[in-house]
Structures are given as C-alpha cells and as structure tokens.
Amino acid sequence: MTSSLSLHAGNEKYVVDTKESVVKWTGSNLIGSNSHIGYVYISKGELIIENDQLIGGTAEVDMNTIEDENHGRDNGLINHLKNPDFFEVKKFPFSAIVLTKAVSINSENKKVTGNLTIKGITQPVTFPAKMEVKDGIVKVNGRLVIDRTKWDVRYKSGKFYDLLADQTILNSILRS
C-alpha cells in the first residue's frame, strides 16, 4: 500500500487534505500474473510535527470508497473485497492507523511505527516513509506491506487452505 498525504498547517498539527490524499493498494495471486491495483480514500486524519520532526498522527480510511485502478466501485472485484471474504465493509466501514513513533533516517526518510486497525483488529506496523515540508504544507509518502491474515482476511490464503494450488492469493497487501 502506498499512501500520499497532503496536509495543511495548524500550529503543530497538520490536518490531512482528504481531496489530495489516497491509499493505493495492490493484491495478487501467489503464483501467476493475476494482480489487482486500486485505491481507497482517507476520510480524516492529522499529523503531529514538532521541531520539523514527525512525532505522531492518525488517518481514518473509509472502506466504502475502495475502488479498482479504473476507479470502479461497483463491480465483481470490489463487491467481493467488501464482503466477509475480505474486508466485511458493512460491519467494519473504517480502517485506521495511529502513528506512534517516527525515527529520522535522514532529513527526508523516516521509519514510521504505528498501529493499524482493519476489521476491528489492531496490529503493530513499521514502514518507510518520505516526508517533505514546503511552504507550510507537509507531504508524506509511505510504503506498507501487510500480511492480511493478521487482520482475519483469510480468503484463499495458503496459510489456511492446503489444496488451492495456483488459486492461492498472496497474503501480502501492498499499501502505498
């Protein structure tokens, strides 16, 4: 998953510009070339910056906004991702991340730690991110790979089903 956040200043708290911020996701089969790319949108969030250093923050993702790379929200793939096989969106309409720590590797690169909640399950995560502060706007771009089974997304996972062969879906979801 790759996330791009655009934020606008408000003292040391920077509010996420939800019109400019998006989470890009990729999911694929373990074997073969079947993969899907799409987007899900941030409904609200903020980052806390102290002395030009990221020290915390939150982002809430509206799982109802999940779409494929063609920006389709009402098709077989998206409807399946919303059902209990995957994200059970009717029961869990929001996912969230709470950033608890960021270590500067250099002026731009950070190692970010936080707690990611999907389907009501919270797990710790750590991921690299780049942060730029320019003209009162903070831009953050991070890359997070998660093992979906830690959040009870088990559909066609080789960890739980033995006889899937080339239908096994990779457990990792890339969020950028």
Assigned CATH for 2-175: 2.40.128.110
pLDDT at position 127 is 96
What mean pLDDT value characterizes the chain?
83
pLDDT beyond 60 at 162: no
pLDDT at position 110 is 94
Adjacent-strand bridge partners of 110: 104, 129
Q: Return the higher-pLDDT residue of 121 and 167.
A: 121
pLDDT beyond 60 at 151: yes
pLDDT at position 35 is 82
pLDDT band at 137 (very low <50, low <70, confident <90, very high): confident
172 phi and psi, to 5 degrees?
A: -80, 135
Name which of 166, 64, 65, 61 is nearest 118 in CA terms.
Answer: 61
Q: Give residue-wise pLDDT tens across range 26-79.
A: 887 666 567 889 999 999 999 998 877 888 999 999 999 999 988 788 898 899
The domain locations on the chain are: 2-175
Q: Give residue-wise pLDDT tens across range 96-116.
A: 999 999 999 988 899 999 999
> Model-level pTM greater than 0.95?
no
> What's the mean pLDDT in 4-8?
51
As to burial, measured by CB atoms within 10 angstroms (0-12 exposed, 13-18 middle, 19+ buried), residue 116 is: buried
pLDDT at position 113 is 97
